[in-house]
Amino acid sequence: MILFDDAGRVLLVRRGQPPRHGEWSLPGGRQELGETIEQTARRELLEETGCAAGTLRLVDVIDSITHDDQGRPRFHYTLVDFVGRLADGAARAGSDVTEVSWAELDALERYALWGRTVTVIGLAARLIGGGVMPPPGAATR
C-alpha cells in the first residue's frame, strides 16, 4: 500500500518479521480467506500504521521471490500495490513493524529500499500527481 500525506510524503514501515526483517518497505501483508485485495490493503495499512486511506487506485502487481543459499525459492509473495491519500489516523508502528516514517520522495535512498519499491512509489506519485490525490468526485485523466 502506497500512502501519501497532503505534503506529498510516502509512508514507509520497518519490517519486524521475516522476510525482510529490519528493512524498510511499504505497508502490506497476507490476504485473509474471503477478503478482497482492497480490504486486505486497507486492513494491513491500519494494523501496521494506524492510518486509513481514502480512495484507492491500483498501481502495479509485482512478484517478490526470496531465495535460500542454494538458490531455491524460500518466500514468494505477489504484491498488489494500491495508492491512496491519508484520510485518517496518525502514523505509529503497529503489528509486524518496528518503525514508521513519512519519507520525502527525494530522500528515499536513506531507507535502502528494494529497487522495485522505489519504482512503484515513483509510478504512484505520477499517477496521483506528485502525491496529492484529487478530491472525491473530481475528474481524473
Render 49-107 in DSSP notation, one character per residue: HS-EESS-EEEEEEEEEEE-TTS-EEEEEEEEEEEEEEEE------TTEEEEEEE-GGG
Which tens digit of pLDDT belongs to each residue from 39-59?
999 999 999 999 999 999 999
Which tens digit of pLDDT belongs to each residue from 1-10?
999 999 999 9
The 3-state DSSP class for residue 24 equals: strand
Q: What is d(CA 21, CA 18) in angstroms, rounded to the nearest whole number?
A: 5
pTM of the model: 0.85
User: In this structure, which amino acid lies at residue 35?
Assistant: E
Which tens digit of pLDDT belongs to each residue from 96-135?
999 999 999 999 999 999 999 999 999 999 998 864 433 3
pLDDT band at 68 (very low <50, low <70, confident <90, very high): very high
In order of start, what are the domains of the chain with their CATH numbers?
2-127 (3.90.79.10)
